[in-house]
Amino acid sequence: MTIIQINRKLLLMKLHYFIGIGGYAPFSPFMATIAKQRGYSAVIVGFIFMVQPIPGLFIRPVIGVITDKYKCRRVAFILSSLIIFTLVWLFSIIPGTTSKGEMDDYDVIRSPLFWLFFGAILTMSIFDTIKNVMEETICTTLLGVNKYLYGKQRLWGSLGFGIFAIVSGACVDWFSKGQEYKNYTPAFAISLVCFFCDIIIVSNIEVVQDSNIKIVISDLRKIFTKTTVKAFLLWAVMFGFFMSFIWNFVFWYLEDLSSLYHPETNSWMKTLQGLSVIMRCVSGEVLSLFLSSVILRHLDHTNVFSLTFFLFFVDFFLYSVIRNPVWALPIEVINGFTWGLSYSTAISYAAMLSPVGAEGSLQGIAGMAIDGIGSPIGSIFHGYLFKNMGSIASVKLLPAIPLIACILQTIINRQLLRGTTNNTVETKNRIEVDNIIRKF
């Protein structure tokens, strides 16, 4: 008698999340400080992160529709993984890694090295978008009707991201001892090993795609006529706006706090930032992704969105009052919980609303709202504030925005509930999911 049954399909998916997402951790969280070390101003960094997700604005829905129609999810998944591995190697050998001071913005945009740096980031973002759409769609398809358990698969990505972030951060600090600037060579080496292993894993994941199901465009159009779906996409844009600060500027802010109030932390700043990532991912995201199925069983999706907006307010308020960057560690737990809950809610909700066989299409559009609209707007907004007001003064203004969003979202949600009866798709799926969850 077998006591423990292992689902090989989901095991490979978990391994992919752990290695594939973990591969970004050695360099992705430090991208703003890498650019800062190259002499780029906050406005230039904001511009980079504003433009970076824009191709995803078009690629996410298009790649979802194409792979749904032509049944080529497996090819797109493997090919994107191979190209990302190549781009990380290219990014690691771009010269001009340090600058003695901040360069003039005009000189930066005239520099070929800047455009090589920017081009590598932009191209990597394009294929990361394709890979992200494929992994979400393939995972939720493998889960079948049990889509609420998506978070329990995705949490392995957060775990891997956190572990590889602290390991690479410590390696960067160790290799940079006695140097004026940080040496990111070990970080890129770790990343390349991860992505090489991920290519092997991705090649062995079974991709289920029913060739008998035909995608009817009119079914997708009907979805977007619903007010609840339009509101959902608006909240997704707001998630991207708020997360752009966490993804792109929080480490810049911590380094400024260190320089101004606690310069003794400068020598181990990358280790501290790596610890921040592992606190965010392991203590926060993993917990929220694990509990997301239970939370969504008891709370309506829109109520969960209200909760996440309030948690963003708490995150930003706590960031605004600290002076020692070490205090960012407990804040990152809340931050990770906030992002994990909002992301798993958005992905599972999009999958539930999708017509059968078109999961990739609506999930791609939801991701487009987060990464392709909200994040670019937030990036240029935060970059402008950091450039003109300074990071510390800017962060003190941020808590007001998610608080206002929380209030408005709650009001709009109540109005929508008054004006409509229970949504048929939502009710059907929630009953189905409740029955499934009770079995666990």
What is the predicted pLDDT for the residue at 433?
43
Residue percentage of the chain with pLDDT more than 90: 32
What mean pLDDT is predicted for residues 50-56?
A: 81
Structure tokens at 350: 């999009």
Going by pLDDT thresholds of 50, 70 and 90, the confidence category of residue 424 is: very low
Per-residue confidence band for 2, with pLDDT thresholds at 50, 70 and 90 = very low
Residue 355 pLDDT? 63
- Assess whether pLDDT exceeds 70 at residue 161: yes
Task: Quickly state the pLDDT bin for 6 (edges 50, 70, 90).
Answer: low
Is residue 388 within 8 Å of residue 245, measured between CB atoms?
no
Distance, in Å, from the CA atom of 37 to the CA atom of 175, rounded to the nearest integer, reads 16
356 against 16, higher pLDDT: 16
Can you tell me the mean pLDDT for 176-193?
89
- Say yes or no to pLDDT of 426 above 60: no
Q: Would you place residue 193 in the very low, low, confident or very high pLDDT band (cuts 50, 70, 90)?
A: very high
Other Cβ atoms less than 10 A from the Cβ of 98: the count is 12
pLDDT at 127: 93
Q: What is the pLDDT of residue 353?
A: 66
Q: Which sequence spans correspond to the domains of the chain?
A: 8-437
**Tokens encoding 178:** 């006695």
Mean pLDDT of the chain: 83
pLDDT over 50 (residue 66): yes
Q: What is the predicted pLDDT for the residue at 237?
A: 92
Which pLDDT does position 399 carry in this prediction?
95
- Please state the rounded mean pLDDT for residues 16-29: 93
Q: Nearest CA to 40 among 48, 30, 29? A: 48
242-246, 261-265, 290-294, 349-353: least confidently modelled range: 349-353
Residue written as token pair 């009907």 = 222
Residue 434 scores a pLDDT above 50: no
Mean pLDDT check: name the lowest of 180-184, 328-332, 431-435: 431-435
Q: Side chain identity at 98, as an amino acid letter?
A: T
Please give the C-alpha separations between residue 366 and each of 51, 237, 243, 353, in angstroms, as whole numbers.
Answer: 18, 9, 15, 11
- In this prediction, residue 146 has a pLDDT band, given cuts at 50, 70 and 90, of confident
- According to the model, what pLDDT value does residue 122 have? 92
Q: How confident is the model at residue 431 (pLDDT cuts 50, 70, 90)?
A: very low
Give the tens place of pLDDT for each residue, 228-254. Answer: 778 888 888 999 999 999 888 999 999
Residue 262 has pLDDT above 50, yes or no: yes
Residues in the chain: 440
Percent residues over pLDDT 70 in the chain: 86
Under the banding of pLDDT at 50, 70 and 90, the label for residue 432 is very low
Mean pLDDT for the stretch of residues 67-88? 90
User: If you write DSSP's letter for every residue of 130-167 in order, what string do you get?
Assistant: HHHHHHHHHHHHHHTT-GGGHHHHHHHHHHHHHHHHHH
Tell me what pLDDT residue 358 has: 58
Residue 37 · residue 182 · CB < 8 Å: yes
pTM: predicted TM-score of the whole model, two decimal places:
0.71
Report pLDDT for 304.
86
> Which CATH class, in words, describes the domain spanning 8-437?
mainly alpha
